[in-house]
């Protein structure tokens, strides 16, 4: 067996099928991706309610915003990132829409002062929080917290429905390619492949298709069937427990601060400098621990500063307590020697 931590999910199958996330969510619509979900939600609002302007937080996955550019709606950024306590400066008028983000499952903008704007909350990093806030709508990607190749969702209001979205051939083919990548990664971790080159090639080719509007589709039916086998609540609960365990193992240091204490997404470190972040990241990769940076390619200076200091370390349900302790110990050992 090859021991690697982080990066993309390998294929996982479960017969438990006990998720309340799907069974107890009225008006939940499944899409190929999170960006397809928000695209179709905005499209619905434009045609049905006359939405004119939408605001996205400046610190965000900008590929999602670009996917929505062709819609007949003005798109703006409002200043906000999860380490800045920015007040929301927004034109609170009828016909305006504000997208808020539950960042890493730990922080989101306070929109209590907004009385007229429609609020849409992105719960990608905290799937089980859907419906818990006063937002008008919820959407997200499923593939950040769950081992599934494609998937997004949108929760509408009662009696609202999408009428013109279907499954596309490109969405189906991309799902199949992503599945091949996940199967190949499983083989790689079992030491049945000489290298990770093949599965990485399939992953990268599939990921490129997410930017293509030909994947503006409902969730492929095969993906829905796979999703229904996953014990979603169990996965996220285990991830929370692992992250809490990892945090308890970390020794205090002035080199970084932990941004999250209770979430089901990942361990989020905010490093003192970009140099510390980059050096720690390289050290972890050298030890087969592959952290993520959320999100690259920021536009505004404050957001670039955060992008350059943040590190997201996976301690999810894939890993045992012993493996989580190993990851935390590696972080500790790095700072012992600097």
Q: Give the pLDDT of residue 284.
A: 98
**Mean per-residue pLDDT over the chain, rounded:** 94
Our CA dihedral for 289, 206, 31, 71, rounded to 10 degrees, sits at 110
What whole-number distance in Å separates Cα of residue 199 and Cα of residue 187?
9
Q: Give the pLDDT of residue 17.
A: 60
Query: Which of the residue ranges 21-35, 197-211, 287-301, 307-321 would you say has the lowest mean pLDDT?
Result: 21-35
79 has a pLDDT exceeding 70? yes
Q: What is the mean pLDDT of residues 113-126?
A: 96
Residue for token pair 């093949």? 198
What whole-number distance in Å separates Cα of residue 211 and Cα of residue 262?
32
Q: Give the pLDDT of residue 96.
A: 98
Q: Which two tokens stand for residue 315?
A: 């301690």
Q: Write the pLDDT tens digit of every residue in 220-244.
A: 999 999 998 899 999 999 999 999 9
Q: What is the mean pLDDT of residues 47-53?
A: 98
% the chain with pLDDT above 90: 83
Q: Give the pLDDT of residue 18.
A: 60
Q: What is the mean pLDDT of residues 241-263?
A: 95
Q: Give the pLDDT of residue 8.
A: 93
Q: What is the mean pLDDT of residues 145-170?
A: 94
Q: Give the pLDDT of residue 88.
A: 87
**What does DSSP assign to residue 292?**
B
What whole-number distance in Å separates Cα of residue 207 and Cα of residue 221?
19
Q: What is the mean pLDDT of residues 28-36?
A: 97
Q: Give the pLDDT of residue 22.
A: 77
Q: Give the pLDDT of residue 24.
A: 58
Q: Which two tokens stand for residue 144?
A: 């950040």
Asked whether the CA dihedral 38, 97, 57, 127 is positive or negative, the reply is: negative
What whole-number distance in Å separates Cα of residue 236 and Cα of residue 233?
5
110 has a pLDDT exceeding 70? yes
Q: Write the pLDDT tens digit of every residue in 162-219.
A: 988 999 999 999 999 999 999 999 999 999 998 999 999 999 999 999 999 999 999 9
DSSP count for the chain of H helices, then E strands:
10, 12
Q: Write the pLDDT tens digit of every residue in 97-108.
A: 999 999 988 888
Q: Write the pLDDT tens digit of every residue in 16-26.
A: 666 677 775 66
What whole-number distance in Å separates Cα of residue 186 and Cα of residue 2?
10
Higher pLDDT, 138 or 19: 138
Q: Give the pLDDT of residue 261.
A: 80
């Amino acid at each position: 067996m090859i021991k690697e931590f982080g990066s993309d999910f390998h294929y996982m199958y479960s017969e438990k099928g006990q998720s309340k996330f799907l069974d107890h969510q009225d008006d939940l619509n499944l899409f190929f991706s999170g960006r397809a979900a928000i695209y179709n939600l905005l499209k619905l609002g434009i045609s049905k309610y006359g939405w004119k302007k939408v605001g996205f937080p400046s610190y965000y996955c900008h590929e999602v915003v670009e996917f929505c550019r062709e819609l007949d709606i003005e798109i703006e950024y409002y200043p906000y990132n999860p380490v800045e306590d920015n007040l929301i400066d927004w034109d609170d008028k009828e016909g305006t829409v504000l997208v808020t983000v539950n960042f890493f499952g730990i922080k989101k903008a306070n929109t209590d002062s907004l009385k007229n704007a429609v609020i849409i909350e992105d719960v990608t990093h905290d799937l089980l929080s859907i419906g818990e806030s006063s937002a008008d709508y919820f959407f997200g990607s499923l593939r950040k917290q769950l081992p599934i190749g494609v998937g997004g969702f949108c929760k509408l209001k009662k009696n609202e429905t999408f009428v013109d979205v279907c499954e596309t051939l490109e969405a189906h083919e991309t799902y199949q390619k992503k599945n091949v990548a996940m199967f190949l990664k499983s083989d790689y971790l079992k030491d049945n492949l000489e290298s990770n080159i093949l599965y990485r090639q399939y992953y990268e080719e599939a990921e490129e298709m997410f930017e293509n509007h030909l994947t503006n589709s409902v969730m492929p039916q095969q993906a829905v069937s796979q999703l229904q086998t996953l014990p979603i609540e169990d996965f996220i609960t285990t991830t929370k427990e692992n992250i809490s365990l990892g945090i308890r193992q970390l020794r205090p240091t002035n080199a970084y601060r932990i941004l999250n204490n209770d979430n089901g997404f990942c361990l989020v470190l905010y490093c003192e400098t970009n140099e510390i972040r980059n050096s720690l990241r390289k050290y972890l990769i050298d030890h087969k621990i592959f952290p993520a940076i959320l999100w690259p390619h920021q536009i505004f200076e404050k957001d670039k500063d955060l992008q350059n200091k943040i590190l997201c370390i996976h301690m999810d349900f894939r890993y045992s307590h012993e493996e989580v302790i190993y990851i935390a110990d590696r972080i500790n050992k790095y700072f012992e020697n600097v």
